[in-house]
A = this chain, B = another copy of it.
Amino acid sequence: MVHKLTQVLEPKGFISAAKNVGIKDDTLDFTVIFSEVPAAAAGMFTTNRFCGAPVLVGRDHLADGVLQAIVVNSKNANVATGQSGIDDCQAIVAAVGQELAIDPGLILPSSTGVIGRRLPADRMIAGIPGIRQMMGSGKLTEAAHAIMTTDTRPKYGSVRIGDAVLFGMAKGAGMIEPNLATMLAYFFTDAQISGDQLKGMLHRVVNKSFNRVSVDTDTSTSDTVICMANGLAGEVNLHDFEEAFTSLAIQLARKIAKDGEGATKLIEVQVEGTNQEEDAVKLAKSIVNSPLLKTAVFGRDPNWGRVAMAMGKAGVDFTPERARIWFGPHLVFDRGAIFEQQLKEVEDYLQNEEILIRVSVGDGIHSSTVWGCDLTYEYVRINGEYTT
């Protein structure tokens, strides 16, 4: 079977360039994305108290709801670097502003990589002149490469809504349990949407997508999601736009889970039958984050008891005697009854690359879906060897 490559659509008026500025090695580590006109913008940032210098500077620059450029480096997160880190960040933003001939306040900086090291700011600033010259359209996928750290593949997607296009890119593989905001994700659209509309929409979209992903329960210090809308394609149906935005964000969120550090399998957990949506999310997160469940999925061990354990510790009030647990199509626990004869089938099912664990706890009308990945030798290797 021949797969037809899906064409990547890009919104009007966004140009970009990516290059190596020698932060750590000779791979792409620096990218600037530029809108030809100022764009309405909304963002969400990490809730981690030890947040990075770029998050502090970026929050400030985003306060008026307008951005014209984003500058991102990988290989160093510029976190826990004190006032020097903020100075470094502002110097880089100033240099980019000069290169693009725009106010630095219109530029949002992001950094991702190791925590607690000074940026090589001089080297980075030396790499900025000439970058405007390199910029062009059709290069957003290259920008998606430049923001990668331990990601094994770039993550991006695009969707058309009326005359407008929405392009999204994300990075993130470890230190992923977003809380109100998430890893790095950027969305660019030429639709005309006000900053206020964009802000409300971004919160709803993130809550259904990136906030439902967890690789390892660790919340990054650099989490950032930004959406810029430059209006060059005119108005769109906002309901359609939000629907497309949500589905593109879920697509990227799933890619992040599937590309989790060391992961061999995507785990999707669906919980249904709760009386509050919050309870469904808590139960689902507790299951998808359980190291014992994650290692069992890695080892293709049909140990559904660990799903029961993870449900029980979630701090949600439910009655075990009314609970049901499925692995894919296989019902393994039905309100107190165990199906031991199903275990061989579950073991076979666990050979798939995408594992669905479904749980019902009663008759409530609420449900939730979250995404995660298995816990493997490779996760331990990657994170035991990251800086050394």
Contacts and interface: CB of A to CB of B under 8 A. Distances in A.
A387 interface: yes
A221 B308 CA distance: 9
Contacts of A385: 299, 301
The number of times this chain is found in the oligomer is 2
Contact of A302 (B174, B175, B316, B387): B387
Interface in A367-388: 375-377, 379-388
Nearest to A80: B308
Interface string A206-227: 0000000000111111000000
A80 B380 contact: no
A82 interface: yes
A310 B380 contact: no
Main DSSP-derived SS at the A contact region: loop
A76 to B, nearest CB: 10
Contact of A309 (B50, B380, B382): B50
Contacts of A298: 380, 384
Contact of A295 (B118, B292, B306, B384): B384
14 contacts: A49-B318, A82-B337, A114-B303, A116-B333, A117-B338, A174-B292, A216-B292, A218-B306, A218-B309, A220-B309, A221-B308, A299-B385, A301-B386, A303-B386
